[in-house]
A and B are shown apart, each in its own frame.
Chain A
Amino acid sequence: MNKIIVYSEINAEKVTDASLELISKAYELKLQSNTEFQKDILVEAVVIAVELDELSKQRIYKAGADRIIFIKDTSAFCFMPTIYSKIFVDYFNQNPSDVILFPASEKTRTLAPRITTLLDTGLVADCTNLELVLKNNDIKLASTRPTFGGELMATILSKKIPQCATVRPGTFKIKDVNLGMKEYFEFTPSIYEENRIKLLRSLLDNKVSTSTLQNAKIVLAGGYGIVSANKIEYFDKLQKLAKILNATVACTRKVVDYGIMPSSSQVGQTGQTITPELYIAFGISGAIQHIMGMKNSKIIIAVNEDENADIFNYADYKIVADAKKVIDDMLGSVL
């Protein structure tokens, strides 16, 4: 293994945190390879975008990249998977690597399978851990991912090269690495046209506050246990509390299914993975698929009436009580 490529995504003209997290993880794999296998691996960040600003470049190096490859989207497709996949494969075929890692934004999750299908190789989705293992004298990428709603973890290897994986935002931490060598290259891809698909209109969805939840230090999460007769009441109260306490409200899949909260607020394997300083679970039973999205929070407080609720297995602090009453009491104290 000589090189790990991290597909680095630009969103709103900036490199995304999820990309930086993955670059830092690739840097960790590089260190592992150095110590365990005495082999140096290059960490290469590949960016396809209309523009790559200086700040993003510096952040990419700082997170642990040895080299940046910038592929200019001259046609300003601004993300068109059928084109971006071809552009990427153009670059890859001339500059192959053993591993490609993709940050799992919704867009990248749509692009990555196009790329791996073109390269006729596998893709392991939503890995929660990546490590290198020695198999038949080869250094291989071992990707661990939850399956069956998180009830089972599977570590997966790829028989083919490149070995590819996607990783959800918030899974790894961004490191602060200062590397001496910093390479920068630009790659000019062939010109491609796409007449089969036309973007007619693009709007920002204001209801979606993904980034707020990702950056939140304190998260107040509500589950089915605080769904009252008039459904939304306790979520309104949580919102009120959150506003006063500078926190962000999140919820479980069931709450989204009931139409009480938007899916952008959903934490879990099928929602967002977050790692706030403090995660407070109100009336959440602790279905494993929810746990997958919050278990790495720094401190977890769980409030639930059922003293045997699974959530308590993951909590630092356990409160056996009616979560609705605790919310009322908290509101009473701060109002």
Chain B
Amino acid sequence: MNIVVCIKQVPDVDDIKWTNENNLDRQGMLSKLNSADEWALNWAMNLKSKFKEASVTAISMGPNQALDVLEYALAKGAERAILLSDKSFSGSDTLITAKILSHGIEKYIPDYNLIITGQKADDGDTEQVPVSLAQYLNIPDVTHTVEIHNADKNSALVSQNIDSEVNMYEMTTPCLVAVKKECPKIITPRINDYIRAESTAIEVYGANDLGLTQEQTGIIGSPTVVYRAFRPQIEKNTVEIKENYARNILDMIFKV
């Protein structure tokens, strides 16, 4: 049983800093593992523990800084960690990110059975990469997964909570599952786990390794392009209510 977990390092959205020119101060911001990817790792480790011969590979696309989250994945129990990193990858949109990941998985983890991803990233919040990745790999997927009941080399049984429906699916492998809920069994690495993880070298591959040209990736290869960026403006004339709070609120409710 070969499980792949796609993870992403994201800026901490609760810790956003701005430069004087109203740009994001990326240098000054803290980075962390995307929350839903932490859940994906826990689901993977939980599944792995059910099999004698199972392995988990964590894969990420990003700058060298993303080695941190891959090290963390190793400490959590992943056997392999792969970073897809290249200057030319910078600025890739969701389509190109999925394309790069699909090339990495096909080339370096060709015998995978199950891919687990987080439903969404804390920063972009598009939920597009997992679906796009499944399409590139031409495999079935279930998004909005709240429970992985079981999975083995041949099939996966999962429950999804989507648009007020709860659906249970059985998929044949290889397949992709995007989780939007934490696994009941959480793994917290200890110091020993980090020490053990240090002995595993993280594999790093670039555009050439993946057979991708610079024109196919990053800002150049991405179909979407940022035309302009701005901070939202507020225009409100706020009236302060200074007394009889409850009465005033109720009066406004009754007027609706």
B51 at the interface (CB under 8 A from A): no
Quick check: B135 and A157 within 8 Å, CB to CB? no
Which chain B residues numbered 1 to 45 have a C-beta less than 8 Å away from chain A?
A: 11, 13-14, 16, 24
Quick check: A319 and B241 within 8 Å, CB to CB? yes
Q: How far is the CA of A264 from the CA of B180 in the complex (A)?
A: 13
Q: How far is the CA of A332 from the CA of B237 in the complex (A)?
A: 30
B234 at the interface (CB under 8 A from A): yes
Q: How far is the CA of A126 from the CA of B125 in the complex (A)?
A: 9
Determine which residue in B127, B143, B172, B225 has the highest number of CB atoms from chain A within 10 A of its CB, and name it: B127
Q: Report B95-132 CB contacts with A as 1/0, cut-off 8 Å.
A: 10010000000000000000000001011111111011
Quick check: A329 and B222 within 8 Å, CB to CB? no
Quick check: B229 and A155 within 8 Å, CB to CB? yes
Q: Which of B80-88, B202-210, B242-250 contacts A (4 or more CB under 8 A)?
A: B242-250
B195 at the interface (CB under 8 A from A): no
B240 at the interface (CB under 8 A from A): yes
Quick check: B222 and A122 within 8 Å, CB to CB? yes
B64 at the interface (CB under 8 A from A): no
B75 at the interface (CB under 8 A from A): no
Q: Report A97-113 CB contacts with B as 1/0, cut-off 8 Å.
A: 00000000111011011
Quick check: A205 and B131 within 8 Å, CB to CB? no
Quick check: A278 and B246 within 8 Å, CB to CB? no
Nearest A residue to B123, CB-CB: A148
Which chain A residues numbered 302 to 318 have a C-beta less than 8 Å away from chain B?
A: 303, 312-318
Q: How far is the CA of A66 from the CA of B175 in the complex (A)?
A: 40
Nearest A residue to B247, CB-CB: A333
B48 at the interface (CB under 8 A from A): no
Quick check: B164 and A208 within 8 Å, CB to CB? yes
Q: Report A125-163 CB contacts with B as 1/0, cut-off 8 Å.
A: 110000001000000001000111111111111111000
How many residues of A are counted as interface, with CB atoms below 8 angstroms from the partner's CB atoms? 86
A55 at the interface (CB under 8 A from B): no
Quick check: A330 and B250 within 8 Å, CB to CB? yes
A266 at the interface (CB under 8 A from B): no
B191 at the interface (CB under 8 A from A): no
Instruction: Return chain A residues, CB-CB under 8 Å to B120.
Output: 270
Quick check: B163 and A121 within 8 Å, CB to CB? no
Query: Which of B163, B224, B250 interacts with A156 by CB under 8 Å?
Result: B224
A277 at the interface (CB under 8 A from B): yes
Query: Which of A112, A194, A203, A301 interacts with B140 by CB under 8 Å?
Result: A194
A191 at the interface (CB under 8 A from B): no
A-B contacts at CB below 8 angstroms, number: 230
Q: Report B168-193 CB contacts with A as 1/0, cut-off 8 Å.
A: 11111001000000000000000000
Quick check: A159 and B224 within 8 Å, CB to CB? yes
Quick check: B144 and A110 within 8 Å, CB to CB? yes
B211 at the interface (CB under 8 A from A): no
Nearest A residue to B224, CB-CB: A122
Quick check: B95 and A218 within 8 Å, CB to CB? no
Quick check: A202 and B253 within 8 Å, CB to CB? no
Quick check: A109 and B127 within 8 Å, CB to CB? yes
How many residues of B are counted as interface, with CB atoms below 8 angstroms from the partner's CB atoms? 70
A280 at the interface (CB under 8 A from B): yes
Instruction: Return chain B residues, CB-CB under 8 Å to A152.
Output: 24, 229-231
Instruction: Return chain A residues, CB-CB under 8 Å to B239.
Output: 316-318
B166 at the interface (CB under 8 A from A): yes
Quick check: B135 and A330 within 8 Å, CB to CB? no
Query: Which of B229, B241, B246 interacts with A332 by CB under 8 Å?
Result: B246
B52 at the interface (CB under 8 A from A): no
Quick check: B143 and A110 within 8 Å, CB to CB? yes
Instruction: Return chain B residues, CB-CB under 8 Å to A196.
Output: 139-140, 171-172, 175
Q: How far is the CA of A333 from the CA of B247 in the complex (A)?
A: 8
User: Given that A85-B135, A107-B162 are contacting pairs, would A157 and B252 also be in contact in the complex, using a CB cutoff of 8 Å?
Assistant: no
Instruction: Return chain B residues, CB-CB under 8 Å to A332.
Output: 246
Instruction: Return chain B residues, CB-CB under 8 Å to A126.
Output: 125-126
B223 at the interface (CB under 8 A from A): yes
Quick check: B93 and A122 within 8 Å, CB to CB? yes
Instruction: Return chain A residues, CB-CB under 8 Å to B128.
Output: 109, 112-113, 123, 125
User: Given that A316-B238, A317-B238, A318-B238 are contacting pairs, would A117 and B223 also be in contact in the complex, using a CB cutoff of 8 Å?
Assistant: no
Instruction: Return chain A residues, CB-CB under 8 Å to B249.
Output: 280, 301, 303, 319, 326, 330
Quick check: A199 and B246 within 8 Å, CB to CB? no
Quick check: A148 and B252 within 8 Å, CB to CB? no
Q: How far is the CA of A269 from the CA of B232 in the complex (A)?
A: 14
A116 at the interface (CB under 8 A from B): yes
Q: How far is the CA of A148 from the CA of B129 in the complex (A)?
A: 17
Min Cβ gap A250→B in Å is 15
Quick check: B168 and A200 within 8 Å, CB to CB? yes
A-B contact sample (16 more), CB < 8 A, given A116-B95, A125-B125, A321-B245: A82-B140, A82-B141, A113-B135, A122-B93, A122-B94, A156-B225, A194-B140, A197-B140, A197-B175, A199-B168, A200-B169, A200-B170, A211-B164, A287-B14, A317-B248, A334-B250
24 of the cross-chain contacts (CB-CB < 8 Å) are A109-B127, A110-B162, A113-B98, A113-B127, A113-B131, A122-B223, A125-B128, A148-B13, A149-B13, A154-B229, A155-B226, A158-B223, A158-B225, A197-B140, A204-B165, A205-B164, A208-B164, A247-B253, A277-B256, A278-B253, A280-B253, A299-B252, A314-B234, A317-B248
